[in-house]
Amino acid sequence: MQSIAIAALLAGVGVYALPQDGASCVTVTTEVIIPTYTDSYTTTPVSTITATTPKDLGTFTFLTIESSTKTLATLTTTTTDCTASGTVYKESHHTVYTTSGKSPTGYSRRALGLSPRATPCTTTTTFTTTYGGTYTFIEATGVTSTYTDYTAYSQITVTSTRSGGSAYAIATATATTEGVCGSTVTCTATASSTVTQDARCAPTALVSASNGFGLEYASDTPTGGAAFVTTADDASQCCQLCAEADRCAASLWDVRTGKCTLEFPVDFDSGELNCGEGALVYYDAGPNHPMAPGSGLFVGTLCGNVGYGSAKPDDGT
């Protein structure tokens, strides 16, 4: 009768036992090292002496390199000289691009988010290895070393200047036109007109993501050159400024600030504009806070090219 009760109890345990997910288990192996010998080393006590005179650190040379500046191009902005006050008539317009814009290939997007993870189990094993040794230190008797502790230092500083290298810049010029303006100016829409812009600056031709993530920041002309910084209302307007400038390789427009950057790379040997790599742009993949496409930089590629890379992870790795 008693054996029947025990069998019934074991059967109950079998019914309510939880299944194990063997496929998700991980084995962790730990090695324990047992040393085979012990070595002894003799140490010498150290006595510290505080110096009464400054320690001479010698001569430090401060080198200044003067670079020659080369102007690559001149961009002209137009201002209005107010000659009268009155009514200003402005035409409404719509924008047409020379060809239908096509999205650049190689920059596919994917949905943001994390895939679910299975809950793993862990199996721990331990094994021992006998090799190597341990060390002991024995203080020597009758022997003392000295260490001089300096609290003040002296040093002579000289300045040296030499010439070398080249710096590049984009010059600006201002043109003035006469017009009617002032506090009493009003705007009246008249006939509609068409504005034609470069097809490479169409919204569908601009890049705002790489590998499915938004573009966080960029390095201007990584192989050398100059960058011109201004502001623009949108990415297409910024791109159009680059399209109208001589040998402007690429444009970068930041949706967060309205900053517009035009990139002018130069040839390494001659220093002449070469329509090369305009910028190296970095996308932000997180992983803690990945950047959504279209929330950072918008890139327009004109006569040059643009490289893309991953920004530093924001999880400390």
**Every domain of the chain and the residues it spans:** 25-67+127-164, 197-311
Whole-angstrom Cα distance, residue 150 to residue 82?
Answer: 71
Residue 199 buriedness (CB in 10 A; 0-12 / 13-18 / 19+): middle
Q: φ and ψ at 204, to 5 degrees?
A: -75, -15
pTM over 0.85: no
Q: What does the block give as tokens for 298?
A: 């918008």
CB 39 within 8 A of CB 139: no
Please confirm whether the linkage preceding 287 is cis (ω < 30° from 0): yes
Between CA 167 and CA 66 the distance in angstroms is: 10
Contact 289/249 with Cβ under 8 angstroms? no
Distance, in Å, from the CA atom of 204 to the CA atom of 258, rounded to the nearest integer, reads 19
Beta strand 193-197 with 93-97 is parallel
pLDDT of residue 280: 96
**Cα angle for residues 303, 212, 239 (degrees, 5° grid):** 25
Antiparallel, parallel or unpaired: β 133-139 and 37-43: parallel
Residue 236 phi/psi, 5-degree rounding, is -65, -40
Per-residue model confidence (pLDDT) at position 111: 40
Question: By the 8 A CB rule, do 22 and 117 touch?
Answer: no
Contact 73, 173 (CB under 8 A): no
CA atoms in the 13 A half-sphere facing the CB of 102:
4
Compute φ and ψ for 160, nearest 5 degrees: -130, 140
125, β-bridge pairs: 29
CA distance 219 to 278: 9
Burial of 259 (0-12, 13-18, 19+ CB in 10 A): middle
List, in order, residues 6 or more apart from 42 with CB less than 8 Å away.
137, 138, 139, 140
- DSSP symbols for 246-269: TT--EEEEETTT-EEEEEEEB-TT
Which residues are 36's β-sheet partners?
A: none
Q: For residue 96, what are the CA distances in angstroms to 11, 176, 204, 299?
A: 80, 28, 13, 20
3-state SS assignment for residue 288: coil
Alpha helices in the chain (DSSP H): 2-16, 235-243
Superfamily of domain 197-311: Hepatocyte Growth Factor (3.50.4.10)
User: Encoding tokens for residue 56?
Assistant: 């001479």
Tens of pLDDT along the chain (317 residues)?
444 444 444 444 444 444 444 445 777 788 888 888 888 888 888 888 888 899 998 888 887 766 677 777 787 776 667 666 666 666 566 677 765 444 444 433 444 444 444 455 767 777 777 777 777 888 888 888 888 888 898 889 888 777 666 778 777 777 777 776 655 555 555 555 677 889 999 999 999 999 999 999 999 999 899 999 999 999 999 999 999 999 999 999 999 999 999 999 999 888 899 999 999 999 999 999 999 999 999 999 999 999 999 999 988 87
